[in-house]
Amino acid sequence: MAENNNPRWHRLSFEDLINLKEWQVIQDNFSAITNVTIRTLDVNGKPLTTPSSEPRLCRELIKDIKIKDEICGLCLPSFLGGKAHVDKNLTFLCRADLRNFIAPLRIDGKVVGYVLVGPLVLVMRKPKDEYRKVAEELNIEFEKFWNAFIEIKVTSFFAAQSMIEVIKNVAEYSLNLSYEKFKNEALSVNPLRSPNLLDALLEVASQVSQADIGSVMMLNADTNEFTIEAAKGLSEDVVRKTRVSLGHGISGIVAESGKPLVIDDKIQNDRLRGLLQRPQLGSSMIIPIKSREKVQGVMNLAAFRDSGVRFDMDKANLVKNLIDLATIAIN
């Protein structure tokens, strides 16, 4: 990449390009939907935002400032002034045996900040007694420590990576859009077409809804058809061949109406009932993806009949809020 010779470029920072109050709202909302703690830092490790959904373990139980500095210093990598060592997957452990994920935020190849997701418990908690030594080292009464510890989200490595990928994509698009305005240039790529963003958004939506399979279909302006751009649990053949026109099929009907839809065996609409072709699915929901009030695509999520998961409009609105958060942020 050619070096940028604009002298102002070398001094640009995250806060020069992003309104921090607006970013705090986006960060808080994403944190509330996913139930994870999120922080945004500058290139030196200085907090740019207040931690969103900070766990009670950190917020209340570790109160002594001296102890907190010693313990929570491990919640920052060494290259940002902390004590933690970052592994090849850009994760690190804190003293409470919790995992944190970090991602650099870049514009035109230059790092202008970092987003951190965590602390999290990866995969599963250890047996309760194995945390007794951790509580002693933190100087916290064990039962109080345990009660706060079990409030912290348990998630898979892949799900955690997907969460940080969504917030990273949203942040970097916002940064790059501001930078292009700074250079008086137009951003040519539609961020909603980014495979990384769509894959990550689908994975996070699947996690918060407990869906087994799903897809993101985006409108092809040339053919006026929706095609699958991201998928989970679908065969390559289905992904490659699926085409849906506006107003046709369940996805096309939702795209035309612009409203979320939840369907299962009890649905009363005869038109929709006749379109149900997969008896192994017990519950499905289809959420429109809008940008500037115009439907650009739909997200399809489904749970297998034997999973016991059933969707309702509350869950559909939760996923809608997640999608809206991403599209509002990048717009």
* Residue 161 in tokens: 């990576």
For residue range 13-22, list pLDDT tens digits in order.
Answer: 888 888 898 8
Dihedral of alpha carbons 317, 321, 323, 328, sign: positive
Q: Distance between CA 157 and CA 110 in Å, rounded? A: 27
Q: What is the pLDDT of residue 142?
A: 93
Q: What is the pLDDT of residue 2?
A: 42
Q: For residue 7, give every residue at least 6 positions away whose Cβ sits within 8 Å of its Cβ, in sequence order, or none.
A: none
Asked if 267 and 242 count as a contact pair (C-beta separation under 8 A), the reply is: no
Looking at the predicted structure, is the pLDDT value of residue 94 above 70? yes
Looking at the predicted structure, is the pLDDT value of residue 171 above 90? no
The three-class DSSP label of residue 283 is: strand
Higher pLDDT pick, 123 / 83 = 123
Q: What is the pLDDT of residue 3?
A: 47
SS (H, E, C) 246-281: CCCHHHHHHHHHCCCEEEECCCCCHHHHCCCCCCCE
Q: Distance between CA 305 and CA 266 in Å, rounded? A: 13
Q: What is the pLDDT of residue 70?
A: 57
Q: What is the pLDDT of residue 283?
A: 85
Q: What is the pLDDT of residue 10?
A: 60
What CA–CA distances, in Å, run from 55 to 119, 145, 325?
8, 12, 22
Q: Distance between CA 331 and CA 329 in Å, rounded? A: 5
pTM: 0.69
**Residue 47 amino acid letter:** P
Mean of pLDDT over the chain: 82
Q: What is the pLDDT of residue 119?
A: 92
For residue range 173-200, list pLDDT tens digits in order.
Answer: 778 777 776 665 544 455 556 667 788 7
Choosing among 3.30.450.40, 3.40.50.2300, 1.10.10.60, 2.40.30.10, the CATH entry for 210-330 is 3.30.450.40
Looking at the predicted structure, is the pLDDT value of residue 145 above 60? yes
Q: For residue 260, give every residue at least 6 positions away whose Cβ sits within 8 Å of its Cβ, in sequence order, or none.
A: 254, 285, 286, 287, 288, 313, 316, 317, 319, 320
Phi/psi zone of residue 211: left (φ > 0), alpha (ψ -120 to 50 degrees), beta? beta
* Residue 229 in tokens: 């751009």
Asked if 307 and 282 count as a contact pair (C-beta separation under 8 A), the reply is: yes
Q: Distance between CA 297 and CA 206 in Å, rounded? A: 17
- State the average pLDDT over residues 201-223: 88
Looking at the predicted structure, is the pLDDT value of residue 144 above 60? yes
Closest CA to 106 of 163, 169, 164, 49: 169
Other Cβ atoms closer than 10 A to 130: 10
Other Cβ atoms closer than 10 A to 16: 13
Closest CA to 121 of 88, 157, 147, 165: 157
Domain ranges of the chain: 9-182, 210-330
Q: What is the pLDDT of residue 187?
A: 46
Looking at the predicted structure, is the pLDDT value of residue 72 above 70? no
Asked if 42 and 66 count as a contact pair (C-beta separation under 8 A), the reply is: no
Higher pLDDT pick, 83 / 28 = 28
* Residue 171 in tokens: 């942040």
For residue range 230-264, list pLDDT tens digits in order.
Answer: 999 999 999 999 998 888 888 888 998 999 988 87
For residue range 284-305, list pLDDT tens digits in order.
Answer: 899 999 887 888 899 999 999 8
How many residues are recorded in the chain?
331
- State the average pLDDT over residues 39-49: 92
